[in-house]
Amino acid sequence: MPDLFTLDKKVVAVIGAGSGIGEAVALGAAGQGAAFVSCLDVNDAAASRVAADIARAGGRSSAATLDIAADGAVASALAAIVGAHGRLDAVVCTPAINVRKPILAYTGDEFDRVVRVNLRGNFNVLQAAGRIMTAQKSGSIVLFSSIRSLVTEPGQSVYAMSKAGILQLVKTAATEWAMQGVRVNAVGPGVIETPLTAQIKNNKDWYDAYARKSPMQRWGQASEMVGPTLFLLSDAASYVTGTIIYADGGWLAADGRFNPPGM
């Protein structure tokens, strides 16, 4: 039933579309037949490059600068899309930042910076998209959480807290807006090769340790987050709301023990 998974006639906004998972999702949404893809990113040049790639492939797209942590910015950006296209069917938000430091070394400014982008920024997206979609009685919102919403490691305190908070925001919004025809879900990536994880990739021992933790014995690619995300945006997920799809290569299924002899 291929029509279940199409994004035909849908107006989609992808925030963080300039690189990594956001870029892959924007290109994927266009490839899956979205009527229009708005590429939003704090880096205008990067967003414009992705929008141009979509246009060259025959899709319809535009780009705009957006800092999700700036008060009022998300509401203005999404309102502009509605003004141009009459509706907004889907919103995906991927941006996050991380400061990897032990709790005792964290500064108040670092705490505030991570929380402002990861929690306040995602709340801004959720609220702005929710106002539009509850009024039009339809829509799907996908925020990006992480395996860190459930498991963590030294140096991940504030990041993990923020990713758990995103999941709780998703669940709450889903319960508040279900009767208005709005679905809200999250994707929880495992370790994915993106600009955010470049620090790890540049350290071979660290990179290899993460690969060995996964039952698949490898990192994920940004392109592998497209399928779970577009599923949640599509009509195939019409009865899916208030939940998270972990796309982690089995990371959460394994407890890190060695394989017993004979296995």
Neighbouring-strand partners of residue 122: none
Q: Is the C-alpha dihedral spanning 228, 232, 238, 242 positive or negative?
A: positive
Q: What angle do CA 161, 171, 232 make, to 5 degrees?
A: 105
Question: What whole-number distance in Å separates Cα of residue 181 and Cα of residue 158?
Answer: 33
Partner residues linked to 189 by β-bridges: 247
- Written as six digits, the tokens of 222 are 């940004």
Nearest by Cα to 129 from 28, 234, 15, 9: 15
Q: Enumerate the active-site residues.
A: 159
By the 8 A CB rule, do 61 and 30 touch?
yes
